[in-house]
Amino acid sequence: MPEYKAPIRDIQFLLHEVLSSEDRYKALRGDEDVNRELIDAILEEGAKFCENELAPINRSGDEEGCGFDDGVVTTPAGFKEAYQKYVEGGWPSLSSPEEVGGQGLPYSMGIVMSEMMGTANWSWGMYPGLSHGAINTVEAHGTPEQKEVYLTKMIEGAWTGTMCLTEAHCGTDLGLLRSKAEPNADGSYSISGTKIFISAGDHDMAENIVHIVLARLPDAPKGTKGISLFIVPKFNVKGDGSVGDANGVTCGSIEHKMGIKASATCVMNFDNAKGFLIGAPNRGLNCMFTFMNTARIGTALQGVAAAEGSFQGALTYAKDRLAMRSLSGPKCPEKDADPIIVHPDVRRMLLTQKSFAEGGRALTYFLAAQADIAFMSKNEEEAKEADDLMAFLTPIAKAFCTEMGLESANHGVQVFGGHGFIREWGMEQIVRDTRIATLYEGTTGIQALDLLGRKVMLTQGQLLKNFTKIIHKFCKDNVDNEAIAQFVAPLTKLNKEWGDITTQIGMRAMQNQDEIGAASVDYAMYSGYVTFAYLWAQMAKVASDKLAEGTSEEAFYKAKLQTANFYFKRILPRTRTCVETMSGGLDTLMDMEEDNFGFY
């Protein structure tokens, strides 16, 4: 199994040198309490927890999986104990407001911790990870009483949370859901229905589980406009806030999955379970978006985690594994063969992983920085600008980072050759674990439709323009910067092309709306490549500036520039294929009659 080491230096590079987190926190909080010293101390302690507690039970958790016996779910050995240490360390409350029991640190600090946990042990990280979305939903839409009863317990980690959307007959199309909510005389509701694919729906790690459930009121209109949101605890809560008797919530079964086997994916049955309306009636989907956007950023992190984890394993192996000689002559003549890292194709795979891991980290941290501003800024205009950026970039991050994470995980297996196919090395587990990332919280196709259909076309391109203006300003400011000219010139052309392509698709869509669906996935991938290019150019500028100033970390900054160069020369040209496929049009997909798809 790859030995996980938290990429502390790269995290510090992004937080301190690229995103200026310390200055942002000072401006948003109005104090200097969250400074670089504190940030680095949190990173070091978080890294220790992830490396020493979570990574060692990653493979064993995959081998053992979760247990299920007559409605009772048990997690693999060591999971419950690691969770208790997580709670004792105060990690659940890191980014929650102080007035509800949190530590009051910015959202972005929680994202950093989530990345380290996810790379060390994605299955384990899903148990507390789902709680963050539930916490955000209750915090944003709950009543003062609901916050007092549920929020404090979830923030301290005594209780965990879930998101209960999907039903067997409806996945993404939530307008079809059938779960019912009947009003009770005491103001509560009786929730009945069955939900599937509920991550961390039941387990033995916390004393209570707070389910956030979508259901329909008796007089609700059809479709998505008739969905309400409810809090449904596994155990009812007594007047003093302690856990009471069992609610009408049971786990019917757990799924047998190809990956994340140590994360319980449950079928949850609600049988007249007592629930409490959160938010306005029939506005549940609007409230749920608070949860879903958080979850989508979290899933984008899975792609980053997969790329980082697989890269670390592949890099170690490539340095040690001896096979053949370099075509240009032996590089280690004292050995029987050269280490495979000398071979160009192995380096191609390693650099692909590295560029995706570090580029994805930059994107998710940039998103987290926008969340800090949207959540904390007292300037309404500034907060809205950040919120709009998040709305535009979240589907790109979710779709692109997960697809590139899966590609990186596959490269990791390939670097190992036949050994990559063997379970004991742990590389195939990363592939299995991350394969789900392109599916849940909205498939790549759904994210692409959200991006092109809703975030771009429905805003008449405004959300796209907001971001391309940022790229344009960067390019304009650095047009004479010879140190990064090889990055600025192509980025400038792509930034203009992005708008031109969008206009072309929009013109075709005026004739047939299905043109959006035909182009959407290629458009999302194109958008991802260009977004990463901007972030790599930005990182390259910081690195070149540091080298020009003089630094004791010359190797680190040179590696940044070299990785940026690889990305621009070997990865970014994929945009040319995206342009061609986007222009392929709807007819190539729809001309064939359904009966002609196969002849048997």
Helix (H) / strand (E) element for 195: namely: strand 189-199
Q: Which residue has the tokens 């190809």?
A: 258
Helix (H) / strand (E) element for 277: namely: strand 265-278
181: nearest Cα among 193, 171, 169: 193
- DSSP characters for 103-129? ----HHHHHHHHHHHHHH-HHHHHHHH
Q: Torsions phi, psi of 267, nearest 5? A: -95, 120
Q: How far, in whole angstroms, is CA 141 from its chain's centroid?
A: 23
Catalytic residue among 81, 441, 515, 549: 441
Is 441 catalytic? The answer is yes
Q: Residues with Cβ < 8 Å from 232, sequence gap 6 or more?
A: 164, 191, 210, 211, 212, 213, 247, 249, 270, 273, 274, 275, 276
Using a 10 angstrom Cβ sphere, with 0-12 exposed, 13-18 middle and 19 or more buried, the burial of residue 548 is exposed
358: nearest Cα among 405, 419, 417, 321: 405
CB 250 within 8 A of CB 269: yes
CB 161 within 8 A of CB 131: yes
Beta strands in 218-264 (DSSP E): 228-233, 235-237, 243-246, 249-254
Q: How far, in whole angstroms, is CA 522 from its chain's centroid?
A: 20
As annotated, the active-site residues are: 441
